[in-house]
Amino acid sequence: MGNLLEKLEKYYNEDYLPMHMPGHKRNIELLGEKLPYKIDITEIDGFDDLHHASGIIKNIEDKARKIYGSKRSFILVNGSTCGILAGIRSVVNFGDKVLVARNCHKSVYNAIEINGLNPIYMLPQIGKDGIDRNIDSKQVEEKLKENKDIKLVILTSPTYEGVISDIEAIVDIAHKYDVPVLVDEAHGAHLRFMKGLKDKEALNSGADIVIQSLHKTLPALTGTALLHIQGDLVKEQNVARELSIFETSSPSYILMSSIEECLDIIENRGKELFEEYQNNLKYFYNEVKNLKNLKILGNEIENKDYYDFGKIVIKTNKTNITGKELSDILRKEYKIELEMSSINYALAMTSICDNKENFERLIDALKKIEGSLEEKKEISNNYDIILPKKEISILEAIKNNNSEFKDYNELKGRISKEYIWVYPPGIPLITPGEVINDDIIRKIEEFGKSGIEVRTTFDKFPKIEVIK
């Protein structure tokens, strides 16, 4: 069958006249070659069809299936986002009850909204540093026992910061109740290839639907992802149909080739590349373990067996700078751009494409920055979470236009039409349809005093839209 990229390149050289989409017509005389017009085609004869794959695209899906050991793997070009929307809708009916980790990505909340779902929330453990830890399987058991009508368990593992939950224990419990488990493993497409983490990976732990962004932690272009299924609790045809709703009908061949290239690299050179990567990570963590004030989460995390060391979380809470300031210094003075920064930490993402010099550059920068920092007593924020009362569903709140904007501190007892978030811990303080209470107003004030930015759906904070 061959490789998609090679076939696209060969096709370009065969000089076919493209009387079809895309409109650039591979005219590089007019457009130049800075962008890959030459291999950007649509579903023409011989190039298969993502939504009815039977040829060269099916071949890529089969490669993914074999590498990850799933029953069926779908390749995605609209990121994990479309996989999460499709995966959830493939299992639930409108209005169903679902068990959801409260620290899920917004795509999960969007699925809750459009399917009118009734979410029962599980809270992650929160570290003293405010960073989310795992979802405890005991909570899954409790909630499933209390709510016999739950139709799906949804959680994120690993988290953005690299914390992995015990999916095997969670799946064992959920399956006892015949409930499937969907794991948002957007940050874990590489786990399977990391020594010590293979059996912590969601598919290997028995999850029914697993969605992984290839572009986040593996060498693949932005927007590429995989959706895997296994077992009998999820129907392949339902997933395929939902993907045809949530994913573009004009999938990029460049992105699909990138998925295949990524899978080929893993298959052909994965062992060697991951070995080198893990050695580099070991070297990094060892070099920074004696920093006095800047602390790295991986060196301090309680459960090292359930942690992805590829996420380098640099904590600044014992220093006189914020995570954001650290990230600014690294950018301006060392030309190192991090993935994200928060009040108390900044996050560097790494992959098999980082060589030893990259790690050395970061080590060197952190050691130099550390020397110029003052030690500060750690402020202990209260990150405890009390779930607010739900009055109406997210969907009902979003669709209710009888609403008004008011200052947050005048809103006790009112139903929010917006999400209110803070990072960390990235858990919504409130979702649309929940009631703003004293505790939330006090929390917003507390976060404000420590300089933590409060974000809202419509970006008008301190004003928040509420139902009249």
Footprint of ligand PLP on this chain (CB under 6 A)?
Answer: 79-81, 105, 107, 156, 160, 184, 186-187, 213, 225
Compute the least distance from the CB of residue 104 to ligand PLP, in Å: 7
Sequence-ordered list of residues with C-beta below 8 angstroms from that of 237, at least 6 positions apart, any chain:
none
Output 299-304 pairs: Cβ under 8 A, ≥24 positions apart.
Answer: 301/163, 302/127, 302/133, 303/134
Compute the least distance from the CB of residue 203 to ligand PLP, in Å: 16
Q: How far is the C-alpha of 417 from the C-alpha of 321, rounded, in Å? A: 35
Amino acid identity of 349?
A: M
Residue (160 or 345) nearer to ligand PLP, CB? 160
Report which of 284, 345, 344, 335 is spatially closest to residue 314, judged by C-alpha positions. Answer: 345
Compute the least distance from the CB of residue 224 to ligand PLP, in Å: 8
| 90, two tokens | 């493939």
Residue (184 or 434) nearer to ligand PLP, CB? 184
Residue (83 or 127) nearer to ligand PLP, CB? 83
Residue (115 or 293) nearer to ligand PLP, CB? 115
Report which of 158, 160, 141, 159 is spatially closest to residue 150, judged by C-alpha positions. Answer: 141
Residue (140 or 225) nearer to ligand PLP, CB? 225
Q: Can the peptide bond before residue 462 be classed as cis, meaning omega within 30 degrees of 0?
A: yes
**Residue 428 near residue 357, CB atoms below 8 Å:** no
C-alpha distances out from residue 452 to 106, 132, 315, 368, Å? 20, 16, 15, 26
Compute the least distance from the CB of residue 82 to ligand PLP, in Å: 7
Compute the least distance from the CB of residue 127 to ligand PLP, in Å: 18
Residue (180 or 188) nearer to ligand PLP, CB? 188
Residue (184 or 354) nearer to ligand PLP, CB? 184
SS3 203: coil
Compute the least distance from the CB of residue 221 to ligand PLP, in Å: 11
Compute the least distance from the CB of residue 426 to ligand PLP, in Å: 9
Residue nearest to ligand PLP (CB): 79
SS3 207: coil
